[in-house]
Amino acid sequence: MKLNPEAVRRRGNDMPNCVEIPVRGEPEIVSFLVNQEARVTIYCETGTISIGRIAPWETKPTIRHIFRRNISQLDVVERFLRNPPQLTSIDSSLVIQPDGDQENENENIQRVKTLQSNLELMDVGIAILEGERDKLKDHVQHLQPIEPSKNNANNGAEGMEFQFSLPAEPMKHVDQCLRDISAMGRLVKSVSTNGKGTVFLYGNGGVAYTPSIPRPLYHKLSQLRKTKNRESRPSYVALSTRDRFFVSFHDGTFAFKGPKGLEKELRKAKQPPASVAFGTTYDTFFVVFKDGSWKYEGRGIPEELQLKLEDRQERADLKCVNLGPAGEWFLRAKNGRMWWGGISEEMDQSIQMLLDDGHCLSFLDFGETGSYFISYD
C-alpha cells in the first residue's frame, strides 16, 4: 500500500477547507469535499488521486476528472487538498470556426453563461460527485501500473506514466483500452489524443484505440486485426481536430489526412518523420524528421514557438514538436531539453506538480476543450 489511509485521513481532517466524505466498505479509499467545489479521492493502495469537478461550460452538469498516479508522499497529497487543479474551458474566440458555425457558437456561449449564473454548483455538485464514487473506484483499478508479462519477451523494456484530463464520455472508452492492455500484461509506450479519440501503442506493435478517432484511421487500424505481422503495425500516431491524423508503420510506410503542404514535404523527404503535429488552422503543420531537421507551414504556428526556434538559431536537433487546437505547443530537443507554451492553467499546474515531485516529462499532447495527456517517467 503506497499511502497509509489513517495518515491521509488525519492530514485532510486537519485542514479547514476539507470535509471528509465517508466511503462505506472501502477503508483504503479516503475522500474529501474541498473548498465546497471539488471532490478529491485518494486511493491509498495504488497511490492514485482523483479530482472531480463540475465543468460549468457544459450544457448540463457534467463531471470532469483529473488523475495523478503513484503518489506515495503525504506532502503531495496535502498539496492537492490545499489547491486542487482547476478545470479550464477554451475561449471560443481562440479557435477558428468553420464558416457557418458562428451563430451556433454564440448560442453555445449564451447557454454557458446562463448555466454559470443559475446553477447552484455546491448543492448539485455534491450530489453528482457522491454518485461518481463507484465509477472512480473502477476507473482507478484499471489505471494501476501495467506490468510486462513474464511469458512474453516482446513486451518492450518500459512503459510510460500519464497524468491526463478528459471529458466523461471519452474517459469511458479510455478506461476500456487500459483495461484490455492491462489484461494482456503489456506496457503502454505512447498515447495520442485529440480530446474525443485516443490511440495507445503498447508492447511490441500492439495498438488500442477508442471509437471517436478520425474515421479513415479507424478503418485502417481495424484492418490490422487480420494480420499478426509486426511490420504492418503502427510505430507512431498523431491525432488532431478536423479528422487530421498521421500514422507511420514499422515497414516504413505511412498514411495521413491533412494539408497539401504536409503531403508535399513528406513525399520529397528522404527519411521518415519522427513527429507530425497539426495546428489551429487546417493548413498548419509541423514535421520533425529523424535526423533532427524540421519544417513547418501554416497560419496557426504559435508566435512563442517561432521565437523559441529563432532563439535556438533554428538548429536541426529536434526530437519532436506538438501543437494543440487552442494554440498550445511543445518542443523537445535531442539533448532532452523541453519548452512549452499556450497551455491552460490546469495543465500548467499539473506539470509543475510532476516536476516538483522529481519526475521527468516525456511528451505533452493536447485535445479539444482543454483535454490533455502528460507523459512522464
Same domain, 227 and 367: yes
- Name the amino acid, one letter, at 192: S
User: What is the reported pLDDT for 64?
Assistant: 77
Residue 361 near residue 376 (C-beta atoms within 8 A): yes
The pLDDT of 206-233, averaged and rounded, is: 88
pLDDT of 103? 52
Q: Average pLDDT of 305-324? A: 97
* pLDDT of residue 90 exceeding 70: no
Please state, in angstroms and rounded to a whole number, the distance separating the CA atoms of residues 138 and 21.
Answer: 18
Which strands sit side by side in the sheet containing 329-333, from one edge to the other? 318-323, 329-333, 338-341
* Model confidence band, residue 280 (pLDDT cutoffs 50, 70, 90): very high
Give the per-residue pLDDT at 311: 96
CATH code of 292's domain: 2.130.10
Co-location of 51 and 192 in the same domain: no
Contact 166, 210 (CB under 8 A): no
Segment 228-237, tens digit of pLDDT: 788 889 999 9
233 — phi, psi (to 5°)? -100, 160
Q: Are residues 308 and 336 in the same domain?
A: yes
Vertex 23 angle, CA 16 and 182, to 5°: 115
- Which cell is 222 given? 481495424
Structural domain total, the chain: 2
pTM of the model: 0.66
And the C-alpha cell for 154? 516482446
- Report the distance separating Cα 321 and Cα 93, nearest Å: 24
Same domain, 115 and 54: yes
Please give the share of the chain, as a percent, with pLDDT higher than 70: 79
Question: How many percent of the chain have pLDDT more than 90?
Answer: 51
> In this predicted structure, what is the pLDDT of residue 129?
47
pLDDT number for residue 106: 57
pLDDT at 351 over 90: yes
The answer to whether residues 235 and 331 belong to one domain is yes
Q: Which residue has the cell 474551458?
A: 89
Mean pLDDT of the chain: 82
Are 182 and 232 within one domain? Answer: yes
Mean pLDDT of 349-356: 91
Average pLDDT of the residues in 307-315: 96
pLDDT one-digit tens code per residue, 9-47: 999 999 999 999 998 888 899 999 999 889 999 999 888
Domain around 104: 5-138
Phi-psi label, residue 331: left if phi above 0, alpha if psi -120 to 50, beta otherwise: beta
Which run of H or of E encompasses 43? Answer: strand 38-43
Note whether 209 and 199 are within 8 A (CB). Answer: yes
Q: Which residue has the higher pLDDT, 142 or 89?
A: 89
Domain closes at, from 138, 156, 181: 138
Element (H, E) at 207: strand 206-209
pLDDT of residue 355: 92
pLDDT computed for residue 133 by the predictor: 47
Show Cβ contacts of residue 237 under 8 Å, excluding neighbours closer than 6 positions: 190, 192, 199, 201, 207, 217, 245, 246, 247
Question: Would you tell me the crossing angle of helices 168-183 and 133-141 to the nearest 10 degrees?
Answer: 40
**Which residue, of 107, 138, 169, is where some domain finishes?**
138
Asked if pLDDT for residue 7 goes beyond 80, the answer is yes
Are both 62 and 183 inside the same structural domain? no
Same domain, 231 and 363: yes
C-alpha span between 291 and 287 (Å, rounded): 12
Q: Hey, what's the torsion of the CAs at 217, 230, 319, 305, to 10 degrees? A: 0
Which pLDDT tens digit goes with each residue over 116-158?
Answer: 444 444 444 444 444 444 444 444 433 333 233 333 333 333 5
| Partner residues linked to 50 by β-bridges | 41, 67
How sure is the predictor about 87, in pLDDT bands with cuts at 50, 70 and 90? low
Cα(295)–Cα(270) distance, rounded to whole angstroms?
A: 14
Beta carbons within 8 Å of 302's beta carbon, 6+ residues apart: 279, 323, 327, 328, 329, 341, 342
| Boundary residue ending a domain (123, 138, 153) | 138
| Distance in angstroms (rounded) separating the CA atoms of residues 280 and 296 | 13
Please give the pLDDT value at position 42. Answer: 92
* Terminal CA-CA length for the chain: 20
**What pLDDT, on the 0 to 100 scale, is given for residue 270?**
83
Q: How much is the pLDDT for 56?
A: 65
Give yes or no: residues 72 and 173 share one domain.
Answer: no
Q: What pLDDT, on a 0 to 100 scale, did the predictor assign at position 11?
A: 92
Residue 267: is its pLDDT beyond 50? yes
Residue 371 is predicted with a pLDDT of: 93
Give the pLDDT score at 130: 47
Same domain, 43 and 157: no
Q: Please indicate, yes or no, whether residues 150 and 281 belong to a single structural domain of this protein.
A: yes
Q: How far apart are CA 212 and CA 220, in angstroms?
A: 14
357 with 268, same domain: the answer is: yes
